[in-house]
C-alpha cells in the first residue's frame, strides 16, 4: 500500500494534469522509504507459500491502485462541493455496493450475527466515525487544496503513526528499524509542506 501515493500522483497527472516538482517528488519518496523501512521490522515473520505471497502482493498493488484512483476521482468529482457532502455520497455508494456484494455472496447471516454483538457494534461504530467520517472527510479537504499525490503520501504515514498506539495499548515491541523508519517518514512530510 506504500505504492498508493506514487499511483495517486501518476493518476493525478493523467486525469487532472497535476504536475509535481522535484521537492514534492523527493518528499513523497522519502515518506514511502520511511514507511517501507518501519513496517517490515514489526512484521518480520512472513509466512506462507510463495504463490500466496505473490498473490498477496498483487492484490495489495490492485488495492493501492484503487486507493489512488478513488482519491483522484473524488477530487475530480467533488469540484466545489463541501468535503463532508462528498464523504456522504461516497458512504452511500459504499453502502449500496457492500449490500449488493453481501446479497450476491449470501453473507446476510454473518452480518446479522455481527449486528447482535453489542460490543463489536460499538467498536465498529466508533471506527466508522473516526475513519470514514473524520478521516475520509479531512482527506477530501486535503486533496481539494493540494496535489492528490502529496495528500496520499501524507496519508500513507498512518501505519507508522499507529506504532505508538500498538506499543501503549497492545504492548507490542518495536525495533530500531520501526523507530528510524518512523522518524524518516514523518520528518519527510515536512518536505512535502515546502511544495
Overall average pLDDT of the 1-30 stretch: 78
Residue 97's pLDDT is what? 92
The tens digit of pLDDT for each residue in 134-192 reads: 988 898 888 888 888 788 878 877 777 777 888 888 887 777 777 777 777 767 766 66
Give me the residue label for grid cell 530500531: 176
Overall average pLDDT of the 40-63 stretch: 68
pLDDT at 42 over 60: no
Question: For residues 96, 100, 101 and 105, what is the CA-based torsion angle, rounded to 10 degrees?
Answer: 150
Residue 122's pLDDT is what? 92
Residue 44's pLDDT is what? 47
Residue 40 — pLDDT band, cuts 50, 70, 90? low
pLDDT at 71 over 70: yes
Overall average pLDDT of the 95-107 stretch: 90
The tens digit of pLDDT for each residue in 110-141 reads: 888 888 889 989 998 998 888 888 988 898 88
The tens digit of pLDDT for each residue in 102-115 reads: 889 888 888 888 88
Amino acid at each position: 500500500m506504500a505504492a498508493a501515493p506514487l499511483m495517486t500522483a501518476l493518476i493525478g497527472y493523467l486525469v487532472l494534469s497535476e504536475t509535481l516538482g522535484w521537492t514534492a517528488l523527493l518528499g513523497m519518496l522519502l515518506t514511502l522509504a520511511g514507511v517501507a523501512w518501519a513496517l517490515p521490522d514489526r512484521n518480520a515473520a512472513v509466512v506462507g507459500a510463495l504463490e500466496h505471497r505473490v498473490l498477496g502482493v498483487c492484490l495489495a498493488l490492485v488495492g493501492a491502485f484503487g486507493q489512488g484512483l478513488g482519491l483522484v476521482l473524488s477530487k475530480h468529482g467533488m469540484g466545489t462541493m463541501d468535503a463532508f457532502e462528498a464523504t456522504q455520497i461516497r458512504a452511500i455508494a459504499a453502502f449500496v455496493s457492500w449490500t449488493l456484494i453481501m446479497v450476491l455472496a449470501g453473507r446476510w447471516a454473518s452480518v446479522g450475527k455481527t449486528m447482535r454483538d453489542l460490543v463489536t457494534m460499538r467498536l465498529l461504530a466508533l471506527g466508522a466515525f473516526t475513519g470514514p467520517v473524520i478521516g475520509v472527510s479531512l482527506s477530501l479537504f486535503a486533496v481539494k487544496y493540494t496535489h492528490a499525490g502529496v495528500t496520499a503520501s501524507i496519508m500513507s504515514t498512518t501505519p507508522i503513526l499507529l506504532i505508538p498506539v500498538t506499543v501503549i495499548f497492545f504492548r507490542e515491541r518495536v525495533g530500531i528499524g520501526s523507530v528510524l523508519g518512523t522518524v524518516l517518514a514523518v520528518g519527510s512530510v515536512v518536505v512535502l509542506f515546502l511544495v
